[in-house]
Structure 1
Amino acid sequence: MSATTRTLAEARAWARTGTELMLDAVAGLDEAAFAAPGLLPDWTRKHIVAHTAANADALGNLVHWAATGEETPMYASAEERAAGIAKGAGLTGDELRSWLAASAQRLAAGLDGLTEEQWRREVVTAQGRTVAATELPWMRAREVCVHAVDLGTGVVTFADLPKGFLAALVDEVRARRAPVELPAGPLPEVAAWLTGRPHALTGAPELGPWL
């Protein structure tokens, strides 16, 4: 599957699945486990959860933009984005779980409310890309699916992510990292390698983290 053939319905389903996996992964964490390192350099699990929750709120700004036509950036500034992540270090596990769940629910409700015309409206991402609102569920799916793995709890691995999502992810990241030759191996391991995460492939060159 290529990024050009994935559908809005598929992306929305993957975002829902990723959200459920993320919530399941943090459900049983105590304070010590939340404060432990995740799989991303210099980030604890608290940072990863805060980033994922803040991302839902930021994407909600783009949903508002699509729904109203009122220009609403994802983040007011790079400093605001960093502050949202740093905020997580000072929150308790219960507070982080609540923020993660509530922000995901708000985003889903906002997406549910978009009309066909509003889905086609263009918005601008934090990276400065102009995209149709139909791209927002895919952006969210990437965040929740990959960062659920990044928690490093062992509850979620790339093998637990939907096959269609992994194929679309590999297609997109490969295009952005071009030129890169994909190594032979199972799709979940190739996706892990391509996004710069721990993998079981042998002889594959090391890549820095993506996303």
Structure 2
Amino acid sequence: MTAPIRTFAEARGWAEAGTTLLLDAVRDLDEAGFSAPSALPGWTRKHLTAHVAANADALGNLVHWAATGERTPMYASPEERAEGIAKGATLSAGELSTWLTGSARRLAESFDELTDAQWSHEVVTAQGRTVPATELPWMRAREVCVHAVDFGGGAAFSDLPDGFLAALTDEIAAKRGLTELPEGPLPEVTAWLAGRPHSLAGAPALGPWL
């Protein structure tokens, strides 16, 4: 499989597009709407909102690390990460909406403030990977684009940018060790790889990703 070209500028654009889709998905939700199940088993939309908002805050920690050189992990521990999602699910619709919107805005602003030199500084992800800060927009793009679909508010993989889908398909296929993919529209192949509902006939079931 030939890896698609994924530039820093593209990743930033995809993160912005995914954020717009995500915020649109929750803009008109009331308390009942936030409490409804998401497309992720066992998670309501409140759990998902808390997860995505906390992800923005956590990536903000890595931006701070890149900007200052001060080691600032995404999360203090896996347990703290899980507790934050569980606590977030108890918040009101208004509180969650404010957190989601505010955290997304703060992260975008912090991206804008990094200099070219700071973007090249290395940070460590929650999975222990050492990466340059230029990877952060791609990490955010994956979160907001895929989870915008998971909200179950009408957004689909077909609404995501083709370049993003190609890059995500390549990345997940590599991580799953797959060299051959089923025939079908790119959005459906990407959804299948991500362990989400799809329309591909005969494709074997895959476990969840992200």
Give runs of aligned pairs for residues 35-184 of structure 1, distance below 5 A. Answer: 35-154=35-154, 156-184=155-183
Question: Would the alpha carbon gap of residues 200 and 133 (structure 1) be closer, same or farther in structure 2, given more than 3 Å must change?
Answer: same
Aligned-partner Cα distance in 1 for 2:193–2:144? 17
**1:59/1:107 contact within 8 Å kept:** yes
In the other structure, the counterpart of 1:209 is: 208
Aligned-partner Cα distance in 1 for 2:49–2:170? 26
The alignment partner of 1:182 has SS state of coil
Give runs of aligned pairs for residues 20-31 of structure 1, distance below 5 A. Answer: 20-31=20-31
- Deviations 1:125-166, CA, capped at 9 Å, x for gaps: 000000000000000000000000001122x10000011100
Question: Would the alpha carbon gap of residues 25 and 113 (structure 1) be closer, same or farther in structure 2, given more than 3 Å must change?
Answer: same
* Worse-superposed segment, 83-92 or 111-120: 83-92
**1:66/1:123 contact within 8 Å kept:** yes
Instruction: Give the aligned residue type for 2:168.
Output: L
In the other structure, the counterpart of 1:194 is: 193
Aligned-partner Cα distance in 2 for 1:209–1:38? 14
Question: Would the alpha carbon gap of residues 55 and 147 (structure 1) be closer, same or farther in structure 2, given more than 3 Å must change?
Answer: same
Query: What is the aligned residue count?
Result: 210
The alignment partner of 2:100 has SS state of helix
State the Cα RMSD in Å.
1.3
Give the CA deviation at 1:2.
6.1
Mind listing any 5+ residue stretches in structure 2 that lack a counterpart?
none
- Deviations 1:163-209, CA, capped at 9 Å, x for gaps: 11000000100000013521100000000000000001110000011
Question: Would the alpha carbon gap of residues 2 and 117 (structure 1) be closer, same or farther in structure 2, given more than 3 Å must change?
Answer: farther
The alignment partner of 2:81 has SS state of helix
**2:67/2:118 contact within 8 Å kept:** yes
**2:4/2:166 contact within 8 Å kept:** no
Question: Would the alpha carbon gap of residues 90 and 127 (structure 1) be closer, same or farther in structure 2, given more than 3 Å must change?
Answer: same
State TM-score, norm by structure 2: 0.97
Instruction: Give the aligned residue type for 1:159.
Output: S
| Runs of 4+ deviating beyond 6 Å | none
Give the CA deviation at 1:5.
2.3
Q: Percent identity?
A: 72
Aligned-partner Cα distance in 2 for 1:23–1:182? 32
Mind listing any 5+ residue stretches in structure 1 that lack a counterpart?
none
